[in-house]
Structure 1
Amino acid sequence: MEHDPAVLAIDAGQTGIKVRRTRPDGGVHEAVLPGVRTDAPLVPQLATVVGEIALESGQPVSVVAAGVSGLTDAAADAAALLDLVGPAGVERVVLAHDSVTSFLGTLGDRRGAVVASGTGVVTLGVGTRRTARVDGWGHIMGDAGSGYWIGREGLDAAMRAYDGRGPATPLLDRLRDRWPDPTGAYIHLQSDPGRVHAVAAFARSVADLAADDPVAAGICRRAADELAHSVVTALDAVAEPDDADPPHVGAIGGVFGSVVVRARFEERMRDLRPDAEIATARGSGVDGAALLPGLGTGHALRVLVGSAQR
């Protein structure tokens, strides 16, 4: 696989949208925009991003390749996006869930699994013939081990400490930094349209305190256990009897910035799948998006990619 020099690569996550446009002269324009809203139609949001980049650069965009958080089969309408971005000169659209682009950016062509944990989390396993997505079902039904999950656990622990239902923890002080009256915090959150991000942001407090606070450390370790469980599930789902080489595992996203989470994750992977090799990421989600147009028809991931062309 090779990067298409004409591609506008988009890595659209809930925390932010990263874009990269390679100009015909070889120059590169990169930008970070506000994240996508998974509770609103995604195709119009992507069209707005393409329009903004085309207007800012003053150059037409010929190929759009996007990996998008929260993209369902019903929403993955490459033809609809192509219709909306046609005025920007786009001739081809390639569209996939961000688990696909995270995998490509992290492991490239190698067999294995990638877990990407930020505000939400999704794991993708890719074998020689099969793929398996594990979790990524949103903060209400899933996203175990995500930033939202950790933040929610941290808020719960803080309020348990406030009530006397749980052990004392400095997480309560961090909650008071944001909401001086803890009894009103839930009202503020429930009325906040950005509450998913507000809850996920509390994960930073949990990670910061994990080195010294047993409560915060326990939350981080449980998150890592959930993430490792998802990876092992994905690897098992795509394994073939004739697999000879060990699978590779990539762990990316802001949650893995926690020393406690990463150390526990690697420990659990060694226990559960000692044959797996934890790999250093080759690139990022936007690198994976740039690779989408060149994905071969025989690749196991190809069935997960939508495409439309004029």
Structure 2
Amino acid sequence: MPIATGQQGGAKAFETDTRVVGVDIGGTGSRLRVSTGRGGRSYEVTGPPAAVVAGRSTVPDVVRELCRDFASEFGGRPRVAAAAVGMRGFRAMTQSGSLDANRVHDILAEELRTGSTAVSSDAVTAHLGALGAGPGATLAVGTGAVAVACDDVGRWHLADGMGPHVGDNGGGSWIGRRGLDAAARSMDGRRMGASPGLVQAAEEHFGRRERWTAVNDVSLFAGFAPRVIGAAGNGDLAAREILDEAARFLADGLCAVLNHPGVAPVAVTTGKLLTYAPMFRSMVLRHLLEKRDDVRVQASAGLPLDGALSLARMLAAHPAVVQEHVPLLAVRIGSAPRRVDSITLPRVVLPVVRPMARPDSAPVAWAVEVSSDFEWSAGEVPAGGMVPADAVVPLTGERLVVGRPSRSRGVVPDIVCEDTGVSRRHCEIAWLEGGWTVIDLGSANGTYVAARGDALPTEPLHPGERRWLADGDRIYVGGWTCLTAREVTASVH
């Protein structure tokens, strides 16, 4: 089903060189969204979930159908700068042989006429959507369940996400399966773990009892999870026990990734099951904070589909940093994959933009003025006033990280901000194809950009979104800090 969103102008108005596509394939449905980084209109189509039938994943078929639905609205085969797909069960399907990622790459290249494609686990896209590429942990709960974290040097860590047969503990399919089991116990007179209140709900959802033993569709089980959550909220003891066990499993997975050295004590939850069931989310967070009372829980910046778009933007704007890593991410630039040595879980290095050595030939004719902006700071000034931040920093080298230093962690950014609202690795100013750009690195409070003479910005950059800078552009970070891009003479040192 096509859904148009955003500003005026249809899909045909998109500029070829800026259009990117993100795809999210879950256990209950799929979505494709196309977007341009220049404020144009976004466009979305929806499709069916993917499944494994006779040992073969239907992901390639779902991707092709989504691409063709979009093309039919576009009026022909579109051309995009890059495309990224995030899917549930990617690791399990590729390792079992039920999915060949190359087929998905081929379909994206053929249907969208792009040579830059990424196919990944939804653990990657969920984290990019919720937290960006910065340190912290994300718990994604939908049909399945996975916890993922990125530490302060770019290593990623995963817990669970192993699929319905050996994992996904606490996810929608897991809850639904145990809810059906509780109903079956009640039907034949058992008392341990039985739920009389779920019997009618199970018959409405799965059909007559005689059919229950034949149910093996994980999406069908996941669809029953909201009924189990509802029963728990209405006082059903068996449903409450199921939910409490699920919450403990999920909190344990989140703790597992948070406990790795260098992972910031920041947690975000995402996925339909937690988004639309606040009671269940509260249970998970209560168990989490019982184990780690130092963790700061913050709102999710976006969904896995947003993360897929962020990955596509990274691929389009800075392909050199997006490398293939088995078993979480497959990348193709042109006709061949970009590979590095395979790294086994739980430590998988994924693309995070980090400072590089300064080349002698780097441009030096630009600088940023770091200052305190009293208008931007309204309502956010600390009791002691704003920390002075007035300096001119030459833009030398290829990349400069803007952030707040940490002596204990040894974090010293290239452009230091003492503003307490600035993240350790907040954003990056990078030289790309003859110009300076800024990209948010998954900061806690966002990176905002305004052109010379424009009013204060109201919308932050999406994590992974790269913005070209012109003379006089203002970058707002933290509670009061403004960085103004200036074209200066080469004598600035």
Give the TM-score of the pair, scaled to structure 1. Answer: 0.85
Whichever residue aligns with residue 18 of structure 1, its letter is R
1:51 aligns with 2:68: yes
Find the counterpart in structure 2 of residue 144 from structure 1.
169
Displacement after TM superposition at 1:251 (Å): 1.2
Conserved in 1, the CA contact under 8 Å of 2:176 and 2:224? yes
Return the match for 2:273 from 251, 255, 266: 255
Find the counterpart in structure 2 of residue 15 from structure 1.
28
Larger Rg: 2
Find the counterpart in structure 2 of residue 153 from structure 1.
178
Find the counterpart in structure 2 of residue 285 from structure 1.
304
Q: Where do residues 179-194 of structure 1 align in structure 2 (5 Å cutoff)? A: 181-182=208-209, 184-189=210-215
Alpha carbons of structure 1 residues 301 and 249: separation in structure 2 relative to 1, 3 Å? farther
Find the counterpart in structure 1 of residue 46 from structure 2.
32
1:220 aligns with 2:243: yes
1:169 aligns with 2:196: yes
Return the match for 1:110 from 134, 149, 154: 134
| Cα separation, 2, equivalents of 1:131 and 1:308 | 21
| Cα separation, 2, equivalents of 1:178 and 1:266 | 29
Conserved in 1, the CA contact under 8 Å of 2:128 and 2:310? yes
Identity of aligned residues (%): 28
The 10-residue stretch of structure 1 (25-34 or 222-231) with the greater mean CA deviation from structure 2? 25-34
Find the counterpart in structure 1 of residue 488 from structure 2.
none
Displacement after TM superposition at 1:94 (Å): 1.7
Whichever residue aligns with residue 309 of structure 2, its letter is A
Alpha carbons of structure 1 residues 120 and 168: separation in structure 2 relative to 1, 3 Å? closer
Unaligned stretches of 5+ residues in structure 1: none
1:111-134: CA deviation from partner (whole Å, max 9, x where unpaired):
121111111112212112321121
Displacement after TM superposition at 1:109 (Å): 2.8
1:61-87: CA deviation from partner (whole Å, max 9, x where unpaired):
322111111113557866543433433
Displacement after TM superposition at 1:102 (Å): 0.3
| Cα separation, 2, equivalents of 1:30 and 1:67 | 15
Displacement after TM superposition at 1:299 (Å): 7.4
Q: Where do residues 119-138 of structure 1 align in structure 2 (5 Å cutoff)? A: 119-129=143-153, 130-138=155-163
Whichever residue aligns with residue 90 of structure 2, its letter is L
Find the counterpart in structure 1 of residue 122 from structure 2.
98
Give the TM-score of the pair, scaled to structure 2. Answer: 0.55
Larger fraction in helix = 1
Aligned with 1:141: secondary structure?
coil
1:268 aligns with 2:282: no
Whichever residue aligns with residue 197 of structure 1, its letter is S
1:175-230: CA deviation from partner (whole Å, max 9, x where unpaired):
23346643x1324525xxxx222222211211111122122112111111110001
Larger fraction in strand = 2
1:141-164: CA deviation from partner (whole Å, max 9, x where unpaired):
111001111111111111111222
1:42-98: CA deviation from partner (whole Å, max 9, x where unpaired):
345423422332233225132211111111355786654343343332221122111
The 10-residue stretch of structure 1 (30-39 or 111-120) with the greater mean CA deviation from structure 2? 30-39
The 10-residue stretch of structure 1 (282-291 or 80-89) with the greater mean CA deviation from structure 2? 80-89
| Cα separation, 1, equivalents of 2:329 and 2:205 | 41
Whichever residue aligns with residue 122 of structure 2, its letter is D
Conserved in 1, the CA contact under 8 Å of 2:105 and 2:119? no
Structure with more contact order per residue of length (Cα contacts < 8 Å, sep ≥ 6):
1
| Cα separation, 2, equivalents of 1:187 and 1:165 | 17
| Cα separation, 2, equivalents of 1:271 and 1:283 | 26
Conserved in 1, the CA contact under 8 Å of 2:116 and 2:333? yes
| Cα separation, 1, equivalents of 2:105 and 2:208 | 49
Aligned with 2:32: secondary structure?
strand
| Cα separation, 1, equivalents of 2:60 and 2:206 | 36
Find the counterpart in structure 2 of residue 200 from structure 1.
222
Alpha carbons of structure 1 residues 121 and 299: separation in structure 2 relative to 1, 3 Å? farther
Displacement after TM superposition at 1:13 (Å): 1.1
Q: CA RMSD in A?
A: 2.7
Displacement after TM superposition at 1:17 (Å): 1.0
Whichever residue aligns with residue 253 of structure 2, its letter is S
Alpha carbons of structure 1 residues 275 and 111: separation in structure 2 relative to 1, 3 Å? same
Alpha carbons of structure 1 residues 113 and 38: separation in structure 2 relative to 1, 3 Å? farther
| Cα separation, 2, equivalents of 1:275 and 1:301 | 33
Whichever residue aligns with residue 223 of structure 1, its letter is A
| Cα separation, 2, equivalents of 1:275 and 1:151 | 32
The 10-residue stretch of structure 1 (21-30 or 134-143) with the greater mean CA deviation from structure 2? 21-30
